[in-house]
């Protein structure tokens, strides 16, 4: 089982929602320090202030637009300077919108920013180049596992997260680098991400009927956070986990491996 105590965390999209709850929970479980990265500066500063009231000196806020490479470079280096050693990255930042004015930004945050933080994390952590190893948790979504016709761009960006993580983690990646890549697919969770979905759909006429079913499948934040903790403690490099309907986290890696095996037969 992988230990949490004494570990340092960098969490993108960490000022609110699931990201904020990840930070609180890992500090409760003994994390040494957390760097909260978010574009929402006032919210982030306020959140980190509250964390430091409970865990003095254990939280730092760094403003970062995860869809901007210059921001990522500066924020990552500042996090390294503040934390001194980086043990865990949680790539949590995300935009759930296929609207005409946001779908491109959604791809930049959900996919390109995640790739950038992952590659910078690997470079910093890898044991074959002087690092101490570590863990990178990439947050995908159940939207990557089924067809969501109201948000095809969002679905595509989250499926890209899964395949990127799987491809990167292919053996002997972990044996060579000491960096563990984990992927979590949370189902709809009771956070602001689910608010105003109609305004963010690619087809509003169809979306109203489609989204009527969403509350039926919504899970509590605590359940989603507990799933990430369990995955961190027990997950093998390259594993994919599922968190839905307030059920215990489930390792679904073998399902994907079987899928790849079947596809390989016809390629």
Residues 6+ apart with CB under 8 A from 72: 64, 66, 113, 116, 117, 120
Is 154 noted as a catalytic residue in this protein?
Answer: yes
What percent helix, strand, coil does the chain show, rounded to 5? 50, 15, 35
Catalytic residue (choose from 55, 154, 211, 260): 154
Q: Quick one: tokens of 101?
A: 């004015």
Distance between CA 109 and CA 96 in Å, rounded? 10
Q: Are strands 59-63 and 134-139 parallel, antiparallel or unpaired?
A: unpaired
Question: How far apart (Å, rounded) are the C-alpha atoms in residues 264 and 121?
Answer: 31
DSSP 8-state code for residue 189: B
Considering all CA atoms of the chain, what is the largest pairwise distance in Å, rounded to the nearest integer?
58
Q: What is the DSSP string of 2-17?
A: ---TT-EEEEET-SSH
Structure token digits, residue 181: 């890549």
User: Which positions are catalytic?
Assistant: 154
């Amino acid at each position: 089982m992988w230990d949490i105590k004494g570990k340092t965390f960098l969490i993108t999209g960490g000022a609110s929602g699931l990201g904020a709850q990840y930070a609180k929970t890992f500090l409760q479980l003994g994390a040494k320090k957390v760097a909260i990265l978010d574009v929402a500066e006032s919210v982030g500063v306020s959140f980190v202030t509250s964390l430091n009231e409970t865990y003095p000196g254990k939280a730092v806020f760094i403003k970062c637009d995860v869809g901007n490479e210059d921001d990522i470079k500066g924020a990552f280096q500042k996090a390294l300077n503040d934390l001194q050693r980086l043990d865990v990255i949680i790539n949590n930042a995300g935009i759930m919108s296929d609207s005409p004015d946001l779908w491109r930004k959604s791809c930049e945050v959900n996919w390109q920013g995640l790739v950038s933080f992952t590659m910078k994390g690997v470079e910093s952590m890898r044991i074959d180049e002087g690092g101490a190893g570590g863990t990178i948790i990439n947050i995908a979504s159940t939207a990557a596992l089924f067809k969501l016709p109201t948000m095809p761009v969002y679905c595509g960006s989250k499926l890209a997260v899964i395949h990127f993580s799987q491809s990167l983690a292919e053996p002997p990646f972990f044996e060579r680098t000491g960096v563990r890549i984990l992927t979590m697919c949370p189902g709809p969770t009771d956070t602001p991400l689910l608010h105003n979905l109609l305004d963010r759909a690619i087809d509003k006429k169809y979306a109203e009927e489609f989204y009527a079913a969403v509350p039926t499948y919504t899970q509590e934040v605590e359940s989603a956070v507990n799933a990430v903790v369990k995955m961190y403690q027990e997950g093998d490099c390259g594993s994919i986990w599922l968190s839905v309907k307030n059920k215990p986290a489930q390792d679904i890696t073998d399902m994907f491996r079987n899928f790849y095996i079947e596809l390989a037969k016809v390629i």
